[in-house]
């Protein structure tokens, strides 16, 4: 392992210590801190306490004898040296994650681990059936699934720290391959506590002054920025009174009556039937948003990953997009 050029010069004995004794777990923890941009979020992702994460960061900084982060209240940013260490940690994680599969004996049996990153609430019976069939055919392949924001899924794939991702990806990434899994139509809804609930013959003009519950990516440049542009084009004047990156939390806040929200039609279809939410105009929906299967074309795949991708693409080619919900 070579250290970033931004690290201070060290004597040969110190360099030997770093090469031979540096704790990989500290680098792994620092990688998650850098990805999350927050000690608390890193602790939640690693299922550890915040003091434990902070202590691991201090130990790594002590071993490297340099500051890696700048603390700004609850958020942190990386120093220039921290960015260099982050890059090395990402490359190491991508390599270490392949040690197990590399030791598997060559045989007809497909074994190994697949790390899948996904956004919340990917609701697809077709995808569920595919996973079930894949497990039946290759029972020795293990899955490690993390739920992240779309931006974090894309970032991790670019850093080669995961096998595949299921995510929104409004702006194509040159290094990432993408295949459409689902085409979701978003429409406006309100909860049963909202004043518009149950009202018929509503028009788009009736919504213009209503407050909104919004996804954090519903902003200019975000994956759901078309929602922002739609509201601006229609002259909506209501405020965004609640926001979250989680679809489940958006659904909860809409149901609680905080405001109207834009949600995928198929996700809340059962809630509409149960009388929990009410469909609002425009009746043709607001926007269509794709969920993609993503992977890094520059990442060398294990046999398990190659077989998974082959089977996944076969499923996509043999099923119509409209039949994948």
pLDDT at 214 over 80: yes
The mean predicted confidence, pLDDT, of the chain is 86
Terminal CA-to-CA distance of the chain, rounded, Å? 46
Q: Give SS3 for 280.
A: coil
In the chain, the largest separation of any two C-alpha atoms, in whole Å, equals 78
* Residues 6+ positions from 12 with CB-CB distance below 8 Å: none
Per residue in 9-66, pLDDT tens? 455 555 445 555 667 788 888 888 888 888 888 888 888 888 888 888 888 888 888 8
- Quickly state the pLDDT bin for 220 (edges 50, 70, 90): low
pTM of the shown model: 0.67
Q: Could you give the domains of the chain?
A: 12-96 (1.10.10.10), 107-181+290-323 (3.40.190.10), 184-288 (3.40.190.10)
Which H or E run includes 293? strand 287-296
Two structure tokens written together for 301 = 């795949």
What one-character DSSP code corresponds to residue 265?
T
Among the residue ranges 53-57, 95-99, 112-116, 283-287, the one predicted with the least confidence is: 95-99
**pLDDT recorded at residue 108:** 63
What does the alpha-carbon distance between residue 309 and residue 20 come to, in Å, rounded to a whole number? 37
Q: Give SS3 for 245.
A: coil
Two structure tokens written together for 123 = 């609701």
Per residue in 77-99, pLDDT tens? 889 888 888 888 877 776 666 65
CB 279 within 8 A of CB 269: no
The residue among 64, 68, 87, 85 whose CA lies nearest residue 17 is 64
């Amino acid at each position: 392992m070579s250290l970033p050029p931004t690290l201070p010069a060290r004597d040969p004995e110190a360099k030997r210590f770093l090469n031979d004794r540096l704790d990989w777990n500290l680098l792994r923890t620092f990688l998650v801190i850098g990805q999350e941009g927050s000690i608390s979020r890193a602790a939640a992702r690693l299922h550890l306490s915040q003091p434990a994460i902070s202590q691991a960061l201090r130990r790594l900084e002590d071993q490297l004898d340099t500051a890696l982060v700048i603390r700004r209240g609850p958020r942190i940013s990386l120093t220039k040296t921290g960015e260099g260490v982050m890059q090395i940690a990402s490359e190491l994680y991508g390599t270490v994650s392949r040690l197990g599969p590399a030791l598997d004996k060559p045989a007809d049996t497909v074994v190994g681990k697949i790390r899948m990153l996904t956004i919340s609430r990917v609701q697809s019976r077709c995808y569920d059936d595919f996973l079930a069939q894949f497990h039946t055919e290759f029972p020795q392949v293990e899955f490690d699934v993390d739920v992240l924001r779309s931006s974090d899924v894309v970032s991790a794939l670019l850093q080669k720290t995961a096998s595949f991702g299921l995510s929104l990806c409004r702006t194509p990434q040159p290094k990432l391959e993408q295949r459409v899994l689902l085409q979701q139509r978003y429409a406006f809804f309100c909860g049963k506590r909202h004043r518009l609930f149950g009202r018929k013959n509503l028009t788009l003009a009736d919504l213009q002054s209503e407050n909104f519950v919004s996804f954090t990516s519903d902003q200019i440049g975000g994956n759901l920025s078309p929602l922002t542009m739609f509201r601006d084009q229609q002259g909506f004047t209501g405020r965004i009174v609640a926001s979250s990156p989680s679809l489940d939390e958006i659904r909860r806040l809409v149901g609680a009556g905080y405001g109207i929200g834009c949600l995928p039609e198929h996700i809340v279809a059962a809630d509409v039937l149960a009388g929990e939410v009410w469909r609002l105009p425009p009746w043709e929906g607001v926007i269509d948003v794709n969920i993609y299967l993503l992977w890094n074309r520059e990442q060398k795949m294990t046999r398990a990953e190659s077989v998974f991708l082959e089977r996944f693409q076969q499923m996509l080619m043999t099923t119509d997009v409209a039949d994948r919900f």
